[in-house]
Copies of this chain bind each other. A is one copy, B any other.
Amino acid sequence: MGEKVTIATVARHAQVSRQTVSNVLNAPHIVREDTRRRVREAIAALGYRANQAARQMRTGRSRLIAVRIEPTRDGINGSVLDRFLHGLTETADATGYRVMLYTARHDDDEISTYDDLLGAYDLDAFVLTGTKHRDPRTAWLAEREVPFVTFGRPWDTPEAHPWVDVDGAAGTAQATRHLLAAGHRRIAFLGWPAGSGVGDDRRAGWRTTMAEVGLDGAAPDRATEDGIAEGEREARALLALDAPPTALVCASDSLALGAWQAARDAGTDVAVVGFDDTPVAAAVGLSSVSQPLGEAAARCVELLTGLLDGQQRDPQLLLDPSLVLRHSA
């Protein structure tokens, strides 16, 4: 491998000045047609690649996007992040951006990490996953005017920031409609305790759909922490009712899996639909609401590049999930 190819090498080779080469790269329209061509040929011939560090030093922009990788919680939902990350990386690549990972144990920790990253690497933007009520991170970033997108709606703060989310209510509504169409009438919901934005949203989709057909009275609704064992326990309780449900819409695949196992053990034929279409669901044949993670990731990058280029687009985006049917419903 020869010596380094810089913009000066290209300039010499194409018989122009450094700046002209730079212009061909960053503002092609101000360079005359044939000069541009000559420079492009030189770039190709020499295999020149702009040095990001130098560019960054001058412009203050790094073409780097930071994403937090979370400590794979119960593992079952970890794959959601995994798929999202992959989509993010792919779309970012295509736009000339790169994805940098960071971890953080707590939220405070996360905010101090922002500071580190911004100070040392001049990151262009952040992608946050899993927004919560009263999220301190979005406030911190907004205050410092750091561009960011969240994958997940802000659940209480009406202050607008760009976000992409999947319409959980639409997902559970779709699942509920499917079960209704299959003839079910006593359709229960198995979800999380009220108070989490995501959980309440998913419950709402089921509830309104049931209300639309006038069946909300007969519809049991149970709440518990997430987990397979929890799902199993609650499902058992539901099946022991006088008029047990014939179908269950669940807020997660963990709950759904537990419920599915409880139903099988009880020998009852109960339809179960989970949420997130995790590998576990696919593995055991559980029907599940699938989030368009690849598209969500792509939209996040789109929003960010839009922000960074100064274009002001509509910064909120709600995507529709789809129902993946397997033999559990």
Contact = CB atoms under 8 A, between A and B. Distances in A.
Interface string A54-71: 101100001010000111
Contacts of A71: 86
Contacts of A119: 47, 49, 51
A98 interface: yes
A194 interface: no
A279 interface: yes
Contact of A86 (B69, B79, B228): B69
Given A82-B82, A284-B284, 19 more contacts: A47-B119, A49-B116, A49-B120, A50-B120, A51-B119, A51-B120, A52-B122, A53-B57, A53-B62, A53-B121, A72-B82, A75-B79, A76-B279, A78-B279, A89-B101, A89-B102, A100-B100, A228-B283, A280-B283
Chain A at the B interface: SS class:
helix
Interface string A93-105: 1000011111100
Interface residues of A, number: 52
A304 interface: no
Query: How many copies of the polypeptide does the oligomer hold?
Result: 2
Contacts of A93: 102-103
A81 interface: yes
Interface in A19-51: 47, 49-51
Given A1-B144, A53-B122, A116-B49, A279 B102 contact: no
4 interchain residue pairs of minimum CB distance:
A49-B119, A75-B279, A53-B56, A82-B82
Interface in A169-195: none
Contacts of A62: 53
Contact of A120 (B52, B102, B278): B52
8 contacts: A1-B144, A49-B116, A52-B120, A74-B279, A76-B282, A79-B279, A101-B101, A280-B284
A129 interface: no
